[in-house]
Chains A and B, each alone.
Chain A
Amino acid sequence: MTLLVGALTIGLALALLALGVYLAFRVLDFPDITPDGSITLGAAVSAQLVVSGWNPALATCAGFLAGCVAGAITGLLHTRLAINGLLSGILVMTALYSVNLHVMGRSNIPLLGARTVPDQLAELLAPLTGRDDLDVLGWRVPAHDAAVLLGFLGLSIATAIALLWFLRTRRGTAMRASGGNAGMMRALGVDVDRQIVLGLALANGLAATAGALLAQYQGFADVQMGIGMVVWGLASVIIGEALVGGASLGMLLAGALMGSVLFRLMVAIALRFGLDPNDLKIVTATFVLLALVAPRWMRSWKAARGAKGAG
């Protein structure tokens, strides 16, 4: 049961990453891999500030802002210096590795004993969950863990709603359209370059926040923790799209959130039943690859079968 609760909680923290990846890949149509670095940046900044005695909520906000700066730099490299989008992300991600080491001063910061956002959430929700172990369908769950799970659930849903609200404002619709049809938006008086910079800043801010929450939940920030995270977020988005179908914007954001939780759950189960943790990245990459090519295979297979049926 602890395993299940842990998987759900981490899935909810990483849901913010999935929302960021959704914003970059689907809304802006920009293959941004900066989050591999910015998720660690968020973790590093917030961990360093938490250790030095900052309020953990404020430290997490600082992580968000640091992520925004990283994303904005990727956007500026692409729009002002005309560097290929993928390469801009790679450059910033690579540079961030050094930045993160400098921020942390070493490769790992333990947060054991420090007051963190999960602690704050547990205190906030204590009236709801009580102080004793809870009984969920016959399983014993520590009240603290349940409160953190509920808190992260609230945080990720609130973030998704805020993002949905933003994407429906005048500025947000302009950003969505800039990703779909840049020429049209220029003809309607929108500085498309600015939309890209702004969107990437927001996407990486979300990823960094996910990193900050993850570090505080698992009790340490590590310079390696961002590796492969974009693919992870993409897997969540793809699962989400499969869950909700080609539905409305709100459903797709909810899908990304659910996809993140479901994917983390699937991984936890696979690990529980003997998947070698070293194989996790190759399994994730293979999953995303299959999810990308399977629809095309299905179509050609159906077309071939249809042709056979007609002939």
Chain B
Amino acid sequence: MLALHGLRKTFHARTPNEVRALDGVSLRLADGEFATVIGTNGSGKSTLLNAVAGTFLCDEGRIELDGAEMGRWPEHKRAALVGRVFQNPLGGTAPQMTIAENMALASRRGLSRGLAPALTKALRAEIAERVATLRMNLESRLDTPIGTLSGGQRQALTLLMATWLRPRLLLLDEHTAALDPKSADQIVRITAEIVARDRLTTLMVTHSMQQASQLGTRILMMHRGRLAHDLSGDERARTRPDDLLARFDALRRRDQMDEGVAAMLRRQHV
């Protein structure tokens, strides 16, 4: 179970560029729960994911995963519990290394890496078997440098790498945003398969209302560094992309009104 308690993060504090990226986010994600995170640009949805992953340390708040308080752990230590897929298809794999070598690296996520050979016959066989589940015909190309593959293929392999050892938490950061529509659909399908098969606790940031309403069991909508809506259960089941857009419009109107009211008050009193 993932529990976030009052996470706050301000970037460029005490400068003109100060950004309050996370403004008190608390959240509980039960085991096996699959939540999608949506929000406007700059709403803090990717920041939330990076805070959990440990890309930076939060100013305030606690991050608990299965009872372990990991809010102060460095990124590489959290990786023992957390699997990640990045938005950039180039981000999750080492381009000059082969498919097999990349998978071998992932097979030791969070474990010690001694002086044993990285690739053994047994591991190669297992890699071929798991890569075959992607149905992309990559199992016959294990010795190809991964940099020569398409973005979709690389994202699929990154998904496999992030989940090779079952993570306590899977973080997906707009992992289909940089792909063409066909590849994006394919990655969505593979994501749904893997998460369902391993019953993974998952937090997925997406910009697509379609994906948000199609995938997962819960929708979190972020706005200005806070959780604006948290839809689960029946409410989540009834939600359509249009409903989400309507909620976005409501948030935006409220913003404009806030500013409009402030301007009006200034005119009247100053």
A151 CB to nearest B CB, Å: 27
Closest to A178 in B: B94
Q: Is the CB of B105 within 8 A of A183?
A: no
B108 CB to nearest A CB, Å: 6
Known: A170-B118, A173-B101. Contact between A187 and B96, CB under 8 A?
no
Flag whether B16 is at the interface (Cβ < 8 A). Answer: no
Q: Is the CB of A188 within 8 A of B115?
A: no
| Contact mask for chain B residues 76-97; partner A; CB cutoff 8 A; 1 contact, 0 none | 1101100110100011111111
Q: Is the CB of B97 within 8 A of A177?
A: yes
Flag whether A172 is at the interface (Cβ < 8 A). Answer: yes
Known: A168-B119, A173-B101. Contact between A180 and B76, CB under 8 A?
no
| Contact mask for chain A residues 142-181; partner B; CB cutoff 8 A; 1 contact, 0 none | 0000000000000000000000001011111110110011
Q: A234 vs B79: C-alpha distance in the bound complex, in angstroms?
A: 36
* Interfacial chain A residues near B246, Cβ < 8 Å: none
Contact residue among A173, A187, A189 (Cβ-Cβ distance under 8 Å from B92)? A187
Closest to B101 in A: A173
Q: Is the CB of B114 within 8 A of A170?
A: yes
Q: Which of B80, B97, B114 has the most CB of A within 10 A?
A: B97
Flag whether B104 is at the interface (Cβ < 8 A). Answer: yes
Q: Is the CB of A169 within 8 A of B115?
A: yes
Q: A171 vs B91: C-alpha distance in the bound complex, in angstroms?
A: 20
Known: A171-B115, A181-B91. Contact between A188 and B79, CB under 8 A?
yes
Q: Is the CB of B95 within 8 A of A190?
A: no
Interface residues in A191-216 by Cβ distance below 8 A to B read 191-192
How many B residues, CB 8 Å from partner? 36
* Interfacial chain A residues near B53, Cβ < 8 Å: 187
Contact residue among A180, A186, A188 (Cβ-Cβ distance under 8 Å from B161)? A188
Q: Is the CB of B113 within 8 A of A171?
A: yes
* Interfacial chain A residues near B79, Cβ < 8 Å: 186-190
B211 CB to nearest A CB, Å: 22
Known: A169-B115, A170-B113, A170-B114. Contact between A181 and B77, CB under 8 A?
no
Q: Is the CB of A174 within 8 A of B113?
A: yes
Q: Is the CB of A170 within 8 A of B115?
A: yes
| Contact mask for chain B residues 106-148; partner A; CB cutoff 8 A; 1 contact, 0 none | 1011110111111100000000000000000000000000000
Q: A183 vs B91: C-alpha distance in the bound complex, in angstroms?
A: 7
Q: A176 vs B80: C-alpha distance in the bound complex, in angstroms?
A: 20
Flag whether B64 is at the interface (Cβ < 8 A). Answer: no
B172 CB to nearest A CB, Å: 12
Flag whether A227 is at the interface (Cβ < 8 A). Answer: no
Flag whether B75 is at the interface (Cβ < 8 A). Answer: yes
Closest to B164 in A: A188
Flag whether A280 is at the interface (Cβ < 8 A). Answer: no
* Interfacial chain A residues near B161, Cβ < 8 Å: 188
Contact residue among A170, A180, A181, A189 (Cβ-Cβ distance under 8 Å from B110)? A189
Q: Is the CB of B75 within 8 A of A186?
A: yes
Q: Is the CB of B114 within 8 A of A171?
A: yes
A30 CB to nearest B CB, Å: 15
A187 CB to nearest B CB, Å: 5
Flag whether A184 is at the interface (Cβ < 8 A). Answer: yes
Q: A176 vs B96: C-alpha distance in the bound complex, in angstroms?
A: 9
Q: A11 vs B75: C-alpha distance in the bound complex, in angstroms?
A: 43
* Interfacial chain A residues near B76, Cβ < 8 Å: 185-186, 189-192
* Interfacial chain B residues near A168, Cβ < 8 Å: 117-119
Closest to B102 in A: A177
Q: Is the CB of B97 within 8 A of A169?
A: no
* Interfacial chain A residues near B104, Cβ < 8 Å: 170, 173
Contact residue among B94, B96, B113, B117 (Cβ-Cβ distance under 8 Å from A184)? B94
Contact residue among B80, B90, B111, B118 (Cβ-Cβ distance under 8 Å from A172)? B118
B138 CB to nearest A CB, Å: 18
Q: A176 vs B84: C-alpha distance in the bound complex, in angstroms?
A: 20
* Interfacial chain B residues near A184, Cβ < 8 Å: 91-94
Contact residue among A173, A183, A189 (Cβ-Cβ distance under 8 Å from B109)? A189
Q: Is the CB of B116 within 8 A of A169?
A: yes
Closest to B108 in A: A170
Q: Which of B101, B114, B118, B119 has the most CB of A within 10 A?
A: B118
Q: A165 vs B264: C-alpha distance in the bound complex, in angstroms?
A: 73
Closest to A192 in B: B76
Q: A174 vs B92: C-alpha distance in the bound complex, in angstroms?
A: 14
* Interfacial chain A residues near B111, Cβ < 8 Å: 189
* Interfacial chain A residues near B119, Cβ < 8 Å: 168
* Interfacial chain A residues near B101, Cβ < 8 Å: 173, 177
* Interfacial chain A residues near B95, Cβ < 8 Å: 180-181
A164 CB to nearest B CB, Å: 12
* Interfacial chain A residues near B113, Cβ < 8 Å: 169-171, 174, 190
Q: Is the CB of A187 within 8 A of B84?
A: yes
* Interfacial chain B residues near A191, Cβ < 8 Å: 74, 76
* Interfacial chain B residues near A185, Cβ < 8 Å: 76, 94, 105
Apart from the given pairs A176-B94, A187-B79, A190-B79, 14 other A-B contacts in the complex at a CB distance below 8 Å: A166-B115, A169-B113, A170-B115, A176-B96, A177-B97, A180-B95, A180-B96, A180-B97, A185-B94, A187-B53, A188-B106, A188-B109, A189-B77, A191-B74
Task: Please name the 5 residue pairs, one residue from A and one from B, whose CB atoms are nearest each other, closest first.
Answer: A189-B79, A189-B110, A170-B113, A177-B94, A173-B118
Complex A-B: 11 CB contacts under 8 Å: A173-B101, A176-B94, A177-B105, A181-B91, A188-B106, A188-B110, A189-B79, A189-B80, A189-B111, A190-B76, A190-B79
